[in-house]
Amino acid sequence: MMLRSSWRVFGALEAYALMAKSVFRVDHLPSCVPHRLISLTSSSDDPNGNATGMPEFKKWPNGGGLFHSTACVDPSALIEAGAIIHENSVLAMDVHIGSGAVVGPSVSIGQSTKIGYNVVLSNCSIGSSCIIHNGVCIGQDGFGFFIDGEGCVQKKPQLLQVRIGDHVEIGANTCIDRGSWRDTVVGDHTKIDNLVQIGHNVVIGKCCMLCGQVGIAGSATIGDYVTLGGRVAVRDHVSIASKVRLAANSSVTKDIKESGDYGGFPAVPIHECRRQSVKLRTLLKDGVSKG
């Protein structure tokens, strides 16, 4: 275990050394970098514009970021220093990639979409005119496991994609997992706040609004024009009809088949939720007065 951890640390330091010298122009590496790694970064970029130690990557003239030689990048795209575009990715016209962002292999990004700082994109496609704020992660494996015959926890394959529509805005540090049996989908014009978790296989319709700290478990289906208030929880495999609004801190434990306003735990029609709250307060007051 210690040997494996040592190799991971070594790999991280090697990556840091390469990026520090070739991307950020750091002339003096910190003492935490082993001396044998400094030789990897001792020379400057070659005359052809290749990044030192990474000959398959080149500097993008508009912004100074790195892109793979097989990536298809429109000349109008801006790739800021510190960003990296991996193989076979596609960046359309007027795309803006912020510093520290990583666009993984075969990712496609539509026209006029802006990717913020330190965003990580993998196994996904992003539509046009989207805004992806700082720290968003899209396309990583979902949380899927099973218990085998010996009682050990085994990972389920997570092999599909995330598809983000057009004019979508995704708030900072939101995470959207890739699908396992169907693609994870976010529909056109949907707006997502900061710190939202969207599990694998979730399908969200168009023109939805998801407020901060919403959590949607895997394989849930959400219709069009749905609004989820702050910290709403949606359990796995449930469906929510179009034009539903859920009050903050609600929890959806079963299908909601009719449009309208809902609230509470478990979520019920909002008028019923309010009656329950009034009745509970009345019972508590009666109990206190009798005590």
Residue positions annotated with a catalytic role:
200
DSSP labels for 32-99?
Answer: TS-HHHHGGGSS---TT-EETTEEEEEE-TTTB-EEETT-EE-TT-EEBTT-EE-TT-EE-TT-EE-T
If 0-12 CB within 10 Å is exposed, 13-18 middle and 19+ buried, where does residue 192 land?
buried
Q: At 263, list the tokens.
A: 């609230």
Where on the phi/psi map is residue 31: left (φ > 0), alpha (ψ -120 to 50), or beta?
alpha
Distance CA 266, CA 164 (A): 29
Q: For residue 203, what is the enclosing H or E element?
A: strand 203-204
Q: Are 276 and 256 in contact (CB under 8 A)?
A: no
Where on the phi/psi map is residue 112: left (φ > 0), alpha (ψ -120 to 50), or beta?
left
One-letter amino acid at 250 equals S
Distance CA 119, CA 137 (A): 6
Residues paired with 79 in a beta bridge: 97
Q: Are 106 and 85 in contact (CB under 8 A)?
A: no
Chain-centroid distance, C-alpha 26 = 30
